[in-house]
Structure 1
Amino acid sequence: MLFGIKIEDHLKIVTYIRIGIGSLFLVVAVFLFSLLAIPGIASGELKDMAILSVLGVALALLPLALAVPNLIGARGLIKRRRWARILVLIASVPELFAFPVGTATGIYTIWTLMQKETVQLFTDDPAQA
């Protein structure tokens, strides 16, 4: 029990945070792609379509690259997989630079996942999960 809250509850909060952040990045990726690809397609010009679609994909890759590890990691946290703990720790590092909310969620995630009690919860054996 840390700060009067069971570690399992801290882990649930971290999982919800990861799902929220991953979903937000996924929405941003779709929005950026749509923002550029749809006008390119609507123009009817092959050259415009190609340029804007490539630009849309390029701009959508960063938020997509941030969304995928958060969503996959959250799924693994739910199932208490050891690899998920490491993945979420790594995915939390870039967040530390997004002051103030990203810094707070990143620090909370790292703090929660580095606790001895949290490490003991994770296993690769589904029978023990």
Structure 2
Amino acid sequence: MDAHKRLLAILHIVYGTIHILIFAFISLLANTLLPFILAEIGDNSEETMLLVNGIMLLIRSVMFVLFVIVPLPSIIGGIAQLNNKQWGLTTMMVSGCLSLFNIPIGTALGIYTIWVYLENKKTKPE
């Protein structure tokens, strides 16, 4: 069972890191393309700039929330589990349940996380 917990920790760290890279790429892409889009519109009025700034604030806020909810608990739980912390598996369980909605890789990781968590509870009676 320790091999499964170690593999699960590594998978969560990789999964969280990939999410961070994807979010960083989307943010970079949005910040890079926005000036070109504004130049094509050609309307530099105050209303347009307020709208664009509002949209960028919304995108950054959504990215920050997704960054905090999805990948950080996964990475923190994986590192804690590799360091044999008891709370690491519980943190990965929460992150795994949240990743169930990310079809197909997140679903597979979530199911595997639930299986490892339940097997750990069977072997360690409280």
C-alpha distance in 1 between matches for 2:6 and 2:120: 16
Alignment partner of 1:98 out of 97, 102, 110 = 102
| Post-superposition CA distance 1:8-51 (Å, at most 9, x none) | 11111101110111011101211222122233467697937734
Point out where structure 2 has 5 or more consecutive residues left out of the alignment: none
Aligned residue pairs total 114
1:87 offset after TM fit, Å?
1.0
> Relative to structure 1, is the Cα distance of residues 79 and 41 closer, same or farther in structure 2, using a 3 angstrom cutoff?
farther
> Relative to structure 1, is the Cα distance of residues 115 and 67 closer, same or farther in structure 2, using a 3 angstrom cutoff?
same
Tell me if structure 2 keeps the 8 A contact 1:28–1:63.
no
Q: Which has the higher contact order (CA 8 A, sep 6+)?
A: 2
Tell me if structure 2 keeps the 8 A contact 1:33–1:59.
no
Give the structure 1 partner of residue 17 of structure 2: 23
Which contiguous aligned blocks of 4+ residues in structure 1 show a shift greater than 6 angstroms? Answer: none
Q: CA RMSD in A?
A: 2.8
Greater mean alpha carbon deviation, residues 78-87 or residues 92-101: 92-101
Q: Does residue 39 of structure 1 match 2:33? A: yes
> Relative to structure 1, is the Cα distance of residues 68 and 41 closer, same or farther in structure 2, using a 3 angstrom cutoff?
farther
> Relative to structure 1, is the Cα distance of residues 84 and 105 closer, same or farther in structure 2, using a 3 angstrom cutoff?
same
Q: Which residue type is aligned with residue 54 of structure 1?
A: L
Give the structure 2 partner of residue 3 of structure 1: none
With normalisation by structure 2, the TM-score equals 0.72
Higher helix share: 2
Largest Rg, 1 or 2:
2
